[in-house]
Structure 1
Amino acid sequence: MRPFEVELRRAALRLVRPFRTSRGAETDKHVLLLQWRTEGPHGPVSGWAECGADPEPTYYPEYIDTVTRALVDVLVPMAREVAAADGPFLPRLRTALDDVPGMPLAKAALESAALDAELRAAGMPLSTYLGGHRDRIPVGVSVGIADSIDDLLDWVGGYLEDGYHRVKLKVRPGWDVEPVRAVREAFGDALPLQVDANQAYRTSDIPHLLTFERFGLLLIEQPFPADDLLAHARLAADLRTPVCLDESITSLGSAAAAIALRATDAINIKPARVGGYLTARSIHDLAAAHGIPCFCGGMLETGVGRAMNLALAGLPNFTLPGDISATSRYFAQDITQSFELVDSCLVPPTGPGSGADVDLDAVEEVTSTRITC
C-alpha cells in the first residue's frame, strides 16, 4: 500500500429549512469530512468521505469530538500499520476494523475514504465495485415535524410539485394521527405515504399505533427504542402495515436477529450506522435472501455522502424509494455537484470512486477546523 495521510475537516452547511424529528431539530448540517491523500499510478489521488456523527450524542452515542479522537488516536495509526504490511489493503483494513469494538461511525468514515481513494486510483466507480446496476435511483422525501398542519401541507404540496412521489412524515406522540390524516385528506389515498417515529413510542403505545392501519401507509418506521426488537415483533404480528427498522439495524448480526424474530418487514440501511458500505452491502444481501425489501436512508448528507449512498442504492434489493433526496431539498450550496430529481429519481455519478466532484473552494468556506494525521 502506498503511503497516505488523512485530513479531518469539521464543517457546517446551512439547511434550506430546519429539520425537526422526535429527537430534536437541526438548522445547520455539522459534518466531519475526511480526505485520504495518496499517490496513484498517474499522480496524486484524494478519497473523500463524511462521517455520520452529530455535534452532540443526541442520535448516536458517537459524536464528532469522539469520532475525531478515535480516528487520530486509534484508527488512522492502525490503518497505517495495515498499509505497511504485504497484501491487498482494503480486505486487511476491514479485518482490522472488525477487530476494534464499537465506533461504527468512525470506522465507516475511515473505510469509505480509503475505499474512495483506492477506486479513484483504479478508475472504478463505487457502484460497480458494490455490484449496483441502476442508472436511476427512485427517491422519496422525508418531511420533518412542522409548527402547524398548514405548514406541513404547504411543505408536502411543494415537494410533490418538485417531483417527489413518496412522502415520509416524521411523527411523535402528540404529532401523529392528525398530520397523517391531514396529508391523506389533502393529497389522496393514492399518495405513497409512510411515517417515521425515530424510537419515540413505547410498548404501551401499541393500541394507538394500530389505529394507523386506517391510513393505508407503506411503512411504519422504528416506532420503539432500537434495542427493543421484541416490541417491534409484537407490533409487526398485529399490524397489516409493514414495520420497518432503522436505528435497530447497527450490524449484520442485528439485522439477522431482527429477521429471525420477525421484527421487521423492511430495512432502512444507513451505511454510516452499520460501519460502512461493505457491511451495508452484506446486510442488503442478507435481507434479499429472506425476502425483506430495503431502502437507503439519509442523514442530511452533503454531496460526498449523497454520491456514495446513490452508489449503494443501485443494488437490486433496494426496491423501496430511498431517503437520499435532491441536493436542493437540504442545501442552497453544497460542496460537490448538485444531485437533482429526474422523473422522481436521482442519477448516480459515473466517475471513479464515489463520483463526487469535491469543490475545494467550497469546502474551505465551510471548514472551521482541520487536523492532519
Structure 2
Amino acid sequence: MKITGVELRRIAMPLVSPFRTSFGTETARDVLLVRVVTPESEGWGECVAMSEPLYSPEYADGAADVLRRFLIPALPEHVDARLVGAALEHVKGHQMAKAALEAAVLDASLRASGESFGRFLGAERDRVPCGVSVGIMDSIPRLLDTVEGYLAEGYVRIKLKIEPGRDLAPVRAVRERFGDDVLLQVDANAAYTLADAPRLARLDEFGLLLIEQPLADDDLVQHAALARRLATPICLDESITSAAQAAAAITLGSCSIINIKPGRVGGYLESRRIHDLCRAHGVAVWCGGMLETGIGRAANVALAALPGFTLPGDTSASGRYFATDVTEPFELSDGHLEVPRGPGLGVEPLPEVLAEVTTATEWIPR
C-alpha cells in the first residue's frame, strides 16, 4: 500500500465534567488525530497522549513532533500495514505516537480490502460489556450520586480512582450503598508505595475485582512483593508497555490481571500479542481507556471483543466524556457497546463536528 500523505490534526474536546485522578484533573482533551491517505482510501488513528506528561512521559506536542520528524518518514514507500511496528522499532519509546500511526495505516488498508478492524484482530463477539471509570470526587455524597447514575445507565462495572487518604472511605461507602453484587474495582495510578501495604490490605474486605497499578510503573519487583500481601488481585496498567514487559510481570508474579491500553503498548498488534500471551498463561485482561473520541473508541471496542478479554473494560459510551463526539456516538445498550462491523474502524469523523473542534492541521506529503 502506497501512502501519498499524512495529516496531523489537533482537536479540542471539552469534557462533560472534570475527571480527577491521583496525577491531576482534566477538563478537556487536546487530541492529536492522524489521517493516512492512499490512492484507494484513507484511515484514521487517535493519539491518546495527554497535553502534559503526567500519565506517561508522552504528551501531545511531543507526539506530533516525533511523528513529523521521525515516524512518518520511517514508513517504507510501499507499506504492509501488519509491519508498521517493525518499521518504527528503531525509534525508542513514543508508544502512543506509534500506536496512532499504526492504527491509521491499518484503518486505510482494511477499508481498501473491505475487512473490519474487529475481524482482522480476531474478535469473537459482536458486542462487549462496559465498565465506567469514576474520578476522585470532593465529597462522598457526590460520589454516591455519580455511581448511582452510572448504574442506572446500565454500566456493568464501576472503577473508582483512589489516592492516599481518598481510598477506604469512598470504597466502603459505595459497597454499603450498592451492595456486594456490584462489580467494583479501584485504580491508584501509581499513587502508593510498598510502605502503604497495610492500608492497601484493608481494601481486601470489600471484595474488589482488582486494585489497578498501586505502585510505581517501573517497579515490577515491589508489585510482586505487594501481591503476596494482598488478597485482592493486582492489575498492572502503566507498568505494561510491551509484550516483553507483560511476560516479565507474569514471570515475577507482579500481577494476575493486565489492563491493555493500545496507546500505552505501541499499537493494536502489540495489544493482540499481549492478549495472546496472557491467555496462554491464564492471566485475565481487559481494555483500558484514555478518554478517547469515537475514533479511538471504535478500535478499543473491536480489541475488547477478542476472547481473552474476560473482564468489562473502560470502553464507556461517548456520552460519558463528550456532549458531542467526532463520530456517530457510541451508545450503551443493556450495559454493552456494539462492535463496529463496517470496513476498517467502521466509523468516520463527522465533517461538520470535526471542523468545529479542529484547532490546527498539518499536511505531510510522502
- Class of the TM-score when normalised by the shorter of the 2 chains: over 0.9
User: Is this contact kept in 2: 1:83–1:89, CA < 8 A?
Assistant: no
| Correspondence list, 1:294-305, <5 A | 294-305=285-296
Q: Which residue of 1 aligns with 2:12?
A: 12
Q: How far apart, in 2, do the equivalents of 1:208 and 1:93 lie? A: 44
Q: Which residue of 2 aligns with 1:310?
A: 301
- Shift of the alpha carbon at 1:39? 1.4
Q: Which residue of 2 aligns with 1:96?
A: 87
- Shift of the alpha carbon at 1:47? 0.3
1:177-228, CA deviations, whole angstroms, 9 ceiling, x for partnerless residues?
0000100111111111100000000010011101111111110110001011
- Determine which of 92, 111, 117 is the counterpart of 1:120: 111
Length-normalised TM-score, structure 2: 0.98
Secondary structure in 2 aligned to 1:312?
Answer: helix
Q: How far apart, in 2, do the equivalents of 1:200 and 1:220 lie? A: 12
- Shift of the alpha carbon at 1:83? 2.1
- Shift of the alpha carbon at 1:91? 3.7
Q: 1:341 and 2:332 equivalent?
A: yes
Q: Which residue of 1 aligns with 2:267?
A: 276
- Shift of the alpha carbon at 1:92? 3.8
- Determine which of 49, 55, 74 is the counterpart of 1:53: 49
- Determine which of 192, 197, 218 is the counterpart of 1:201: 192
Length-normalised TM-score, structure 1: 0.96
User: Is this contact kept in 1: 2:3–2:36, CA < 8 A?
Assistant: no
Secondary structure in 1 aligned to 2:201?
Answer: helix
Q: Which residue of 2 aligns with 1:76?
A: 72
Q: How far apart, in 1, do the equivalents of 2:271 and 2:168 lie? A: 33
Q: How far apart, in 2, do the equivalents of 1:156 and 1:237 lie? A: 31
Secondary structure in 2 aligned to 1:39?
Answer: coil
Q: How far apart, in 1, do the equivalents of 2:282 and 2:233 lie? A: 13
Q: Which residue of 2 aligns with 1:22?
A: 22
Q: How far apart, in 2, do the equivalents of 1:189 and 1:94 lie? A: 43
Letter in 2 for 1:259: I
- Shift of the alpha carbon at 1:361? 1.6
Q: How far apart, in 1, do the equivalents of 2:220 and 2:164 lie? A: 20
- Determine which of 236, 252, 255 is the counterpart of 2:227: 236
Give the length in aligned residue pairs. 364
Q: Which residue of 1 aligns with 2:121?
A: 130
Secondary structure in 2 aligned to 1:295?
Answer: strand
Letter in 1 for 2:70: V
Q: Which runs of 5 or more structure 2 residues have no equivalent in the other structure?
A: none
Q: How far apart, in 1, do the equivalents of 2:220 and 2:3 lie? A: 44
Q: Which residue of 2 aligns with 1:169?
A: 160
Q: How far apart, in 2, do the equivalents of 1:170 and 1:240 lie? A: 19
Secondary structure in 1 aligned to 2:346?
Answer: coil
Letter in 2 for 1:242: P
- Determine which of 63, 67, 85 is the counterpart of 1:67: 63
Q: How far apart, in 1, do the equivalents of 2:89 and 2:124 lie? A: 28
Q: How far apart, in 2, do the equivalents of 1:91 and 1:241 lie? A: 38
Seq. identity, %: 55
Letter in 2 for 1:83: E
- Shift of the alpha carbon at 1:90? 2.1
Q: Which runs of 5 or more structure 1 residues have no equivalent in the other structure?
A: none
1:147-195, CA deviations, whole angstroms, 9 ceiling, x for partnerless residues?
1001000000000100112100000001000000100111111111100
Secondary structure in 1 aligned to 2:74?
Answer: helix
